[in-house]
Amino acid sequence: MPVMITARPRRVREPDGAVRVVADVEGAEPLWFSVESEYEALLAERADHVAVALLLPAMRYGRDLRIGGVVTDVLLHRLNHDVQGLVRAVDPGFRAIEVTAEETAPAGPPASGVVTGFSGGVDSFATLAEYATGSAVPPDLRITHLINNNVGAHGDGGRALWRVRYDALRPVADELGLPFIPVDSNIDAHYPQMGFMETVTFRNAAVVHLLGGGIGRSYHASEGTYRNIRMPPPHGDIGLAGAITFPLLSTPALTLESTSSAQSRIERTLALVGSPYADHLDVCIDWDPHRLVNCSHCWKCMRTMLTLEIAGHLDEFVPHVFQRAPYEARRAAYYVEIMASDEPNDTELVEFGDQRGWHWGSGTRARAAAVRARRSMLDTARRVRRSIRSTMRGSR
Ligand SMILES: [Zn+2]
């Protein structure tokens, strides 16, 4: 099997003073992460972040991975065993590979920092409410740093949009009195033809390992409540398995945790009603760096707005967070989408509406049933075609 080889990570000072941690990758562009100079003390000396960052690309292209520098022994073991099993259970297109390191070492003592990613979304506010703004948070669990990672979430808008969103969220971090660290990287360039949601866990986990010099615990806001945690469907969103994945990416020096699953998405959304931070809510997936409020028609905006409207609180978020017109223009079609969906957060939203006596409009359930029937017919046709193809291959 061909090998993907990386050099020991080195630090480079950028012209603006930022510190870039670079790992040369044979035959590809170097992998780099960068932080402002005031956060240099948080950077780890080891190459754990390189191993986590490049595992999926190496598995995708069927290349063994040889990491330059020191990798923590526990992490290396996990990356060679259960982590690969989990990844391949979601997508068998990822190949089993061997990961080795120039040097291995046991984990040192954990650093005292506790970090969470802060995006301004419903889930990250829920994690802040539990571990930063709550009154009785034990010191070992209290958030000490916020991060905002440029690891490919910002689509075509890329770096520009990431900066705009970071700047918009800064006031919240200032008010909380927490350092808010922008972590830039080119990790996305190493994930060609790999969807963001299918790989998000590893991109963010790599950043946390990068900061292992000062961070001993990190929180990753889960996508839903405990009853919805499950293995993702084939080729699905690996974030659904966060509660299973993050422990496997932890070491005795760095605990990665999936958080806030005690609350449903609806409870997390409604917890923002009356919150002093609600004006900074940013759930939108619209990539336009010039947008000033949430687009109010993407599926994430729609879900949040409908939750608020059913609960009778949408007015409090209009027009400074959301706009009513784009939402209302899509709303009837969105009802059909969520009623026809198997996604747990959609199902919960429909149940929530039913409990509150929400008027979905006449014919909506029938239209959703028709969408479901059409989809199941297409699925059956696909399965039949696949089975015919494999029978023909077998008879050749
Ligand atoms: Zn939106």
Ligand 1 centroid vs 286 CA: distance in angstroms?
5
Structure tokens at 57: 């690309």
Domain residue spans in the chain? 3-259, 283-396
Predicted confidence at residue 232, as pLDDT, reads 83
The DSSP call for residue 179 is: -
pTM here is 0.90
C-alpha 115/C-alpha 136 separation (Å) is: 18
Ligand 1 centroid vs 157 CA: distance in angstroms?
14
Ligand 1 centroid vs 293 CA: distance in angstroms?
9
Q: What radius of gyration, in Å, describes the C-alpha atoms of the chain? A: 22
User: Over the stretch 110-146, which tens digit does the pLDDT of each residue have?
Assistant: 999 999 999 999 999 999 999 998 888 999 999 999 9
Mean pLDDT check: name the lowest of 179-183, 212-216, 344-348.
344-348
Structure confidence at residue 152 as a pLDDT band (50, 70, 90): confident
Listed residue (331, 271, 267, 340) closest to 305, CA to CA: 331
Mean pLDDT over 189-210 rounds to 93
192: Cβ contacts below 8 Å, ≥ 6 apart:
none
Ligand 1 centroid vs 276 CA: distance in angstroms?
21
Dihedral (CA of 96, 98, 99, 105) sign = positive
Ligand 1 centroid vs 296 CA: distance in angstroms?
5
- Cα–Cα distances in angstroms (integers) from residue 202 to residues 29, 135, 175, 249, 279, in the given order: 19, 32, 30, 9, 30
At which residue do the structure tokens 């440029």 appear? 150
- β partners of residue 35: 19
Neighbours of 98 (CB within 10 A): 14
Mean pLDDT over 183-201 rounds to 92
Supply the mean pLDDT for the chain: 93
Ligand 1 centroid vs 123 CA: distance in angstroms?
15
